Amino acid sequence: MNRLGNSGIEVRPLMLGGNVFGWTIDEARSFQVLDGFAEGGFNFIDTADIYSRWVPGHPGGESETIIGRWMKQRGNRKQMIVATKSGFDMGDGKKGLSRKYILQAADASLQRLQTDYIDLYQSHTEDPETPLEETLGAYAELMRAGKVRAIGASNYSARRLEEALETSARLKLPRYESLQPQYNLYDREKYEKELEPICLRHGLGVIPYYGLASGFLTGKYRSAADASKSARGQGIVSKYLNDRGLRILAALDEVAKQYRATPAAVALAWLIARPGITAPIASATTVDQLKELFKAVELKLDAAAIEKLNRASA
């Protein structure tokens, strides 16, 4: 079990990404994936109020609503650890991290999730227009009311994260117990150079998103022709399909063959082995995909395998 900072929340080292619920899979298939996740012995789910507002006709909150209905139907709220986020623009001026909006957004998320508490409530993005003491003070109110157990930050710069932690200590306000950064075998530099030292020094839990680099590290995008296989393919190929990306895929293939695993499982196992990582976030649209993700938790890469991946992705 891994701990989320000093929050007392302990989780197994894999988090299910809820961004696909109500977007690339409908409610029925989302329920199948959630059932498979719970049956596999896992319980840590990530979502956000803005999922999936980018879909035409979606106001946002679709993912939270599906997760809420699933927990209600299964009667398993106490067994699940739910992390959600707010701060991005939901339209009609609903955005940011002001006290007024945080209290409003939290209540809206609680309603959609059909629960009276959020395990981990995260600032989805920085809000330079709102003082940190106002944001953290609002979280303190939510925690006193029993609506939130712990708080975290997502997409924070190193400077803003340090400022937030200092503000919490100085004013005796709740502190961010976790960070949700973009981090994977390809996207390493920003997290490792700037954010990892802060997280290790302060004992923050780290739950990286895009652990599979939007699917590139599964190995299914190896040529421009592969881009036509999905709506996101073109963007993935243009960002990752280069000499370094191909070098990483080759190393993943070698290690996967050695361990009789998939490149996806190896890429997540590499993340799990990194210092300070609590649980990488990974999404699945089928139960079969989910089972491949589970293998990452059991995979214990040796030092030689980790070094091979480190060199390839340096």
pLDDT digits (tens, 9 = 90+) for 46-66: 999 999 999 999 999 999 999
Instruction: Provide the residue ranges of all domains of the chain, joining segments of one domain with +.
Output: 2-180
Order of strands across the sheet that contains 176-180: 205-206, 176-180, 148-154, 118-123, 81-86, 44-46, 15-17, 281-282
H-helix or E-strand containing 254? helix 243-259
- 51, 139, 156, 191: the catalytic one is 51
Per-residue pLDDT, 224: 78
101 catalytic per annotation: no
pLDDT digits (tens, 9 = 90+) for 128-148: 999 999 999 999 999 999 999
Which of 48, 55, 161 is CA-nearest to residue 106? Answer: 48
CA distance 314 to 312: 6
Per-residue pLDDT, 231: 66
Residues 6 and 120 sit within 8 Å (Cβ to Cβ): no
pLDDT digits (tens, 9 = 90+) for 8-48: 999 999 999 999 999 999 999 999 999 999 999 999 999 99
**Low-confidence residues of the chain: pLDDT under 70:** 231-232
CA distance 271 to 275: 9
Is 2-180 in CATH node 2.30.110.10? no
Residues 26 and 70 sit within 8 Å (Cβ to Cβ): no
Single-letter code of the amino acid located at 8: G
Residues 99 and 138 sit within 8 Å (Cβ to Cβ): yes
- Write the CB contacts of 4 (distance below 8 Å, at least 6 apart in sequence): 10, 11, 120, 150, 152, 177, 178, 205, 207, 278
> Would you tell me how many other CB atoms lie within 10 Å of the CB of residue 28?
8
Model pTM above 0.75 = yes
Q: What share of the chain is helix, strand, coil (3-state, %, to 5)?
A: 50, 15, 35
C-alpha triplet 210, 214, 216: angle, nearest 5°: 120
> Would you tell me how many other CB atoms lie within 10 Å of the CB of residue 242?
12
